[in-house]
Amino acid sequence: MSKNFSLLSLIWYALLASLLLSLSSIIGNFFHEQNLLSWNMTVLVQGVVFSLATLITLFIISRKNKDILKSLLLTQFKFTKYTLVAILTPFILVVLGLLSAYQLGLIRDIQFNLSSGVILAILLNIVTAFLYEAFPEEVFIRGLVLNELSKKFRFIVTIFLQPILFVCIATFSTTVTSFVLNKPLDINISYVILIFTFGIALQLYKYCSGLLWVNILFHLVYLGVTRYIASNGTNPKYPNLISFKEDIPGIMVIYLSFGWVIIGSILILSILALVKRKRSKI
């Protein structure tokens, strides 16, 4: 821990993340509602705005702190066994989640859709999700915000404070966007629980892997699994990569995306974090 903690910097990073997320969302939705852009182009524009603003922010900070990229674990590529485990964890959990769901009878009649249209949609979504969600959110929240928290608090405290701030940032941004666009506010307790636990998992990925890029990878995997597998085609914007029949509609979003990918990651990486922390003291 360091004595250079700045509450003003912490508030500024959190507020800036909220405002930039809101701004990018508002800009994209404005063009989409004016029928000037398709949905895919809308998300791409939102991503370019948010990521560009993030890069500008990093450039400004780097003029005073030349080691900012290194401190955010963006340029430090020390690959360890913990990094490897962190990279493999979400993929293993997805496979185990699907297999167990089938064995438990939660899903049946599984079919794979590997058409060029689906593959292209997934590749495009990876690009837009990286630009609009994974990269800027990880830089701001698990990067700038978490780094500032770590100067003042121990890891066990930040593992709860960071997700709380994540919820606040997401809620503030959603509220501002809904108000400006005159749309109903879509925030409920399940949304808060999801964001909070997602934040815990992401912080554990950063700690265990030692790379913010692994956070970004997990972020993309979670979004991809939820949109193209677990949601089972309920959103026409995201075609099925794997389709199946469910006796309980929507069960795989809870069972696979939340239960296996998020909660499973928290359980496994908590153990890995304890092992890493114990061995680092030897």
Q: What is the pLDDT of residue 1?
A: 54
Residue 132 covered by a domain: yes
Taking Cα atoms as reference points, which of 96, 90, 99, 105 lies closest to residue 208? 90
Residue 101 covered by a domain: yes
51: exposed, middle or buried (Cβ count in 10 Å: 0-12, 13-18, 19+): buried
Distance CA 148, CA 140 (A): 11
Q: Specify the DSSP class assigned to residue 78.
A: -
Taking Cα atoms as reference points, which of 166, 167, 146, 144 lies closest to residue 157? 146
Residue 156 covered by a domain: yes
Q: What is the pLDDT of residue 251?
A: 95
Local confidence band at 33 (pLDDT 50, 70, 90 cut-offs): confident
Local confidence band at 282 (pLDDT 50, 70, 90 cut-offs): low
> Quick one: what percent of the chain has pLDDT higher than 90?
80
Q: What is the pLDDT of residue 147?
A: 95
- Digit-coded pLDDT (tens) for 236-270: 889 999 999 998 999 999 999 999 999 999 999 99
Distance CA 215, CA 203 (A): 8
Q: Which residue segment(s) compose the domain that 64 sits in?
A: 7-280
Residue 23 covered by a domain: yes
Residue 1 covered by a domain: no
Local confidence band at 183 (pLDDT 50, 70, 90 cut-offs): confident
Residue 79 covered by a domain: yes
- Digit-coded pLDDT (tens) for 203-237: 999 999 999 999 999 999 999 999 999 999 888 88
Residue 117 covered by a domain: yes
What count of other Cβ atoms lies within 10 Å of the Cβ of residue 77? Answer: 10
Residue 111 covered by a domain: yes
Tally of structural domains, the chain = 1
Single pTM value for the model: 0.94
Q: Specify the DSSP class assigned to residue 231.
A: T
| 27, amino acid identity | I
77 has a pLDDT exceeding 80: no
Q: Is 11 left (phi over 0), alpha (psi -120 to 50) or beta?
A: alpha
